[in-house]
Structure 1
């Protein structure tokens, strides 16, 4: 029996003398060198007791070594568990206790604070720094470069990714070899990746976007990656001429628009791809005006990887996330039935990309994943006559005021058009008369001064009375998570008592 991910992504590296990873300091790592590192890391993990089905948890900086740990883990039939480096020791206790990994790799500077957690859950704690320092590389240096992958079935688990937990305890989404491989194959086809591509990779790799979209697609198709530790606009501008493709979150593109040299640096690029958070139509238009490139936006989530994409050849429609990927079924449901074109429904998806369920949470799995394979995403959307999907918000963000439904996205699009407004977030807050009241949080453009009442007055003429925000505040920036998504749960908590005054 083969190992699906090893066979598709890593096996060919053993014969690849050409560069695989191009680093910020000018160093290059060939496929052969990287494959040898995979082998040593797999043997090191095995020496610590890791066997097929065991979990390997990591909270480490992005580096070639971090990518090799992922490769080694899945190649030996174990389950990869990446954790956000921003999580505190208190937060990590939940993940380690829930996933019960055999090994936990952390940054050397954090080992002392994390040792009590490792002791509590009988986990082997080892360190791996961003400069290949730490106890784990020392252990790996003693290991052999020879490697035979462990046989795995397509349905065996390859990774557990924890959701953000904005509505309760974080849930561990169980992703199989087949889930990850199918998605890489579908995206490579839709985005026309080849071995001639060089991907500028500035995304984190503890998340689906940077690890399972960017890295896997490039590895599958035999291209190169400019592998940056993080996003820095000036560094990206400097290195873009060496790339053909860039994947990023909307924040990357808004920052690039404010950086000198973008239009020149982007001349030889094949495509720019955006995801993880909604891309403002305004950003789409401004980026095309500066570079001539229409950003290709797609839509996915932790539990499914990617579900839709705007076409590579064909119309990339600003404000939409495109069409369902090949092999992915997508339907919009309201009140138990599919909605007509143009109407709002909750997205449900089914296909080889859909996860196996939530780790140790059978009840939650049953709530969101039907027996016949449909996953309830919780995202509200419309679909036009051509099949293009437009996300209008999260079901949990739907505002019901006085019995009427208000979709925040509709209001945000209008508010964002008001002069001086950079972006907005519309939320529902408790209200003694209406149950919920519509409330707007506004972030101004550089140098602009906003009067909340004046902004609301400008959009009022285009909104039914029940949709009009009853109040607004101005903040310097909207709160975001590490992937750029606005954290409306934090805004709801901060302003919860606004209408109780």
Structure 2
């Protein structure tokens, strides 16, 4: 328990003096996340809140458009705790649909836009949403799945804000009082792929999301005059919660781009004060000769997450831009856990580390017997705090497995405190105890891909691994063993995988071998495979 004690001691004073006022007055007893976020909106709600290349949206627009959508959802007479599944392209209206779901006291279920029919069918079957919102291009197959899984309401929403959802909401009132919620009530379910091939729905409460938003608001020094360059997708924690909540709670403007586009990034960076991205974004900025100190002259903070940031990228960015990227660490189940400091008085930003435990969050590194390890020793990372999720949707046994008897969540990551030249209260993630691959900021679980490959004609077995990649952090590689007397056509296998899996899960290389390397117990030695193919 030595390390936890140190972490709490370091932050005791900071946490006391920086507690947001929301914690003190509880907004008159309503713990609805939207009530917290709206408390940060500026008094003049005619100001621009979201700027896109084509249109601007004011704070009034956010209030009124989300109110219309919330009124529509309540008019459907949905059961308490009903889920709203959303698989749409990024747009300001999509963000307002999320806010409307929260305002209405319902549960938001974002789905990666790359998911194919087989994947979406699982989510609809498991979560049993009452409403599904999709891109109009996918309406036909989504409607078929909705009929099959019992989803009662299907709407469309396209990236320009059009669709049947907008038509239905237009007749609704533009005033809405947020439905009262307790801190322990569900606000969102985020599905994370499982090492067994079955995805798990992480249940996040209003209290989880609110506590983390407030901590990051203080810790990263959010200001009302900030301008966030938002290029992240909004179907996962980074773009939907960390970035959007930060700007909304601060009453700060967002420059809203559908995705990373280097030309647009170079254009908007001089107009921004904060940028968040996955490491791939920073690699691509460095690859463009137009990116220099002048371009980011008004930026006060670059933040990286969702995948490990290579030390060479960290150093090259300092040299080129004069800015030190702030790297942080979080999960779908916990939102943010640690961060390199924004305030130099708290500490410096150290490349290769994910910084210190955030205020109110406890982090420990333990051995397999749960004994705390000294700085410099590598072990299992476990966490607890108000940001840690409620459990896995309809998986009580899995939930119990992932928490220790004394209430710590087992992250599945391997790390260490301190190390050579690193303060003892800085965490470094050195690996993953599970087979998780993080490619371009997306989580890829090998077992899910292996199950699909093994079903293919002529395949005996397979092993999927992650290997180093200069841009994506890790690349997915499949090693496939054919059945006796069969030949594997790699191009046909790739085409079959693309029809069933999201693009980020598709192996960038497929190798056909006679057999997989195993240990004496018969277990495939993926560490050997990773070493063998590390230079791809």
Structure 1 segment 434-449 matched on structure 2, within 5 A: 441=467
Offset of residue 14 of structure 1 = 8.9
Counterpart position of 1:249: 278
Counterpart position of 2:302: 272
Distance 1:234 1:262, change over 3 A: same
Counterpart position of 1:361: 395
Give the counterpart of 2:353 among 317, 320, 339. 320
Separation (CA, whole Å) in 1 of partners of 2:466 and 2:56: 48
| Aligned 8 A contact 1:299 1:309 in 2 | yes
- Where 1:119 maps in the other structure, the secondary structure is helix
RMSD: 2.9
Give the TM-score, by structure 2 length. Answer: 0.75
Offset of residue 373 of structure 1 = 2.4
Counterpart position of 1:393: 431
- Where 1:388 maps in the other structure, the secondary structure is strand
1:331 aligns with 2:364: yes
| Aligned 8 A contact 1:333 1:346 in 2 | yes
Segments of 4+ moved more than 6 angstroms:
485-496
Counterpart position of 1:223: 252
Distance 1:133 1:356, change over 3 A: same
- Where 1:160 maps in the other structure, the secondary structure is strand
Q: Unpaired segments of 5 or more residues in structure 1?
A: 399-407, 410-426, 428-436, 446-484
Separation (CA, whole Å) in 2 of partners of 1:321 and 1:494: 37
Separation (CA, whole Å) in 1 of partners of 2:133 and 2:505: 28
1:261 aligns with 2:290: yes
| Aligned 8 A contact 1:198 1:223 in 2 | yes
| Aligned 8 A contact 1:342 1:383 in 2 | yes
Separation (CA, whole Å) in 2 of partners of 1:375 and 1:180: 17
TM-superposition CA deviations, 1:326-358 (whole Å, max 9, x none)? 011111111211111100111000100100000
| Aligned 8 A contact 1:49 1:102 in 2 | no
Offset of residue 496 of structure 1 = 9.3
Q: Which has the higher contact order (CA 8 A, sep 6+)?
A: 2
Separation (CA, whole Å) in 2 of partners of 1:167 and 1:364: 12
Separation (CA, whole Å) in 2 of partners of 1:109 and 1:180: 32
Offset of residue 121 of structure 1 = 2.3
Counterpart position of 2:107: 79
Distance 1:53 1:442, change over 3 A: closer
Separation (CA, whole Å) in 2 of partners of 1:440 and 1:357: 28
Distance 1:386 1:20, change over 3 A: same
Separation (CA, whole Å) in 1 of partners of 2:199 and 2:188: 15
Separation (CA, whole Å) in 1 of partners of 2:103 and 2:466: 48
Separation (CA, whole Å) in 1 of partners of 2:470 and 2:59: 47
Offset of residue 233 of structure 1 = 1.2
Counterpart position of 1:239: 268
Give aligned pairs, total.
429
- Bigger shift: 264-273 or 43-52? 43-52
Separation (CA, whole Å) in 1 of partners of 2:221 and 2:89: 30
Separation (CA, whole Å) in 2 of partners of 1:109 and 1:486: 20
Counterpart position of 1:97: 125
Structure 1 segment 427-466 matched on structure 2, within 5 A: 441=467
Separation (CA, whole Å) in 1 of partners of 2:435 and 2:513: 15
